[in-house]
Structure 1
Amino acid sequence: MKASSKPLRPRIIAATLFAALLCSSSTTFAGSGPFAEMAGVWSGSGTISLDSGGSERIRCRATYAVSGDGTGLNQNLVCASDSYKFELKSDVLAKDGSLSGSWNEITRNVGGSVEGRAGNGQFDVIVSAAAFKAKLSVTTHGNKQSVSISSDGAIKGASISLSRA
């Protein structure tokens, strides 16, 4: 790997994708937490827009373990593009419409926090680490998820579609 900005790209992508995936669930079932519908394996692909003006395809696979009441989520996410691969682990809790938790990209030993709100099937999240902050919007319809990401960092944005396997 070159000594350019490439080592930072996987961290930024990992954090933003991770936060997006972990906040994507349905809140339409009364009495269950926002992660109640997340258990299982999800996979998909999308496009990342770089600040250089270029873009790159990315493929992801996520495995979710959900607490019995649907308010806790443990995630393992693996994503790859033509130029790199990363693996993330996370823990997130939901309480009274708020989401909070942490993530760790294990191959590069970098991590950060996830904070946001859930309501009416819409998730608005901010994911943070030492070097960046990104905003995410997530919508889920049945077994399909759409994720939109925007950032002022090396990764300007992303559009990702996931399906439950």
Structure 2
Amino acid sequence: MTALFTTVLAASTSYAQSSTFAGMAGTWSGPGTVTLDDGSSERIRCRSTYKVSGASMEMVLTCASDAYRFNLQAAVVAAGGEVNGTWTETSRNIGGSIQGRGASGSFQVIAQAAGFTANISLKTTGNKQQIAMRADSQFRAASISLSK
């Protein structure tokens, strides 16, 4: 679930629409699924809050099912189409770096930590947000649909 740190990308409601994080500010929630290493999958409910200050963004994401829970925090900075930052998954005490490209609410990033790599795609359109993740660890994939 550490891959869910991907949703780390967010913005402030007062930030201009041309911003790298345009349309992402605020609180989002919705359903998703997570696929584990053994092939099993769990339905999850997620809630995310995005805050932006200039070219910097902070995110807090919590997702849970009856048997599974993760808490992701991230901070990123955007410059010239590049997105760089850090993430932590507090319930598992793991964290690392985020690097990738993105603009106007659409991002392709790679999140890394010792022994962990995840490819993350995040797209925001209006009041809908789609997040897809693929990882190389106990957590294999996640698909999340959030709304404002």
TM-score in terms of structure 2 length: 0.85
Kindly state the Cα deviation for residue 150 of structure 1 after the two structures are TM-superposed. 1.3
Q: Equivalent residue for 2:116?
A: 132
Alignment check: 8 A CA contact 1:18 1:77 kept? yes
What per-residue deviation string (whole Å, max 9, x for no partner) do you get for residues 52-105 of structure 1? 1211111111111111x3x21112222212213232322111010000111122
Alignment of 1:107-122 (within 5 A): 107-119=91-103, 122=106
Kindly state the Cα deviation for residue 39 of structure 1 after the two structures are TM-superposed. 1.8
Aligned length: 145
Kindly state the Cα deviation for residue 121 of structure 1 after the two structures are TM-superposed. 5.3
Alignment check: 8 A CA contact 1:24 1:140 kept? no
CA separation of 1:147 and 1:24: change in aligned 2, threshold 3 A: farther
Equivalent AA in structure 2 for residue 150 of structure 1 = R
Structure with max Cα Rg: 1
Alignment of 1:86-105 (within 5 A): 86-105=70-89
Deviates further, 41-50 or 150-159: 150-159
Equivalent AA in structure 2 for residue 23 of structure 1 = L
Find the aligned partners of 2:142 and 2:51 in 1 and give their Cα distance: 25
Alignment check: 8 A CA contact 2:61 2:71 kept? yes
- Is the aligned partner of 1:79 residue 2:66? no
What per-residue deviation string (whole Å, max 9, x for no partner) do you get for residues 108-162 of structure 1? 3321111110147531110111121011112221010111111222222121101
2:4 to 7, 17, 28: 17
Alignment check: 8 A CA contact 2:8 2:60 kept? no
Alignment check: 8 A CA contact 1:24 1:145 kept? no
Kindly state the Cα deviation for residue 24 of structure 1 after the two structures are TM-superposed. 6.6
Q: Equivalent residue for 1:7?
A: none
Find the aligned partners of 2:80 and 2:59 in 1 and give their Cα distance: 21
Q: Which has the higher helix share?
A: 1
Q: Equivalent residue for 2:133?
A: 149
**Deviating 4+ runs (over 3 angstroms):** 29-32, 119-122
Give the aligned CA root-mean-square deviation in angstroms: 2.2
Q: Which has the higher strand share?
A: 2
Alignment check: 8 A CA contact 1:36 1:66 kept? no
Q: % of aligned pairs identical?
A: 48
Find the aligned partners of 1:150 and 1:90 in 2 and give their Cα distance: 18
- Could you tell me which runs of 5 or more consecutive residues in structure 2 were left unpaired when the two chains were aligned: none
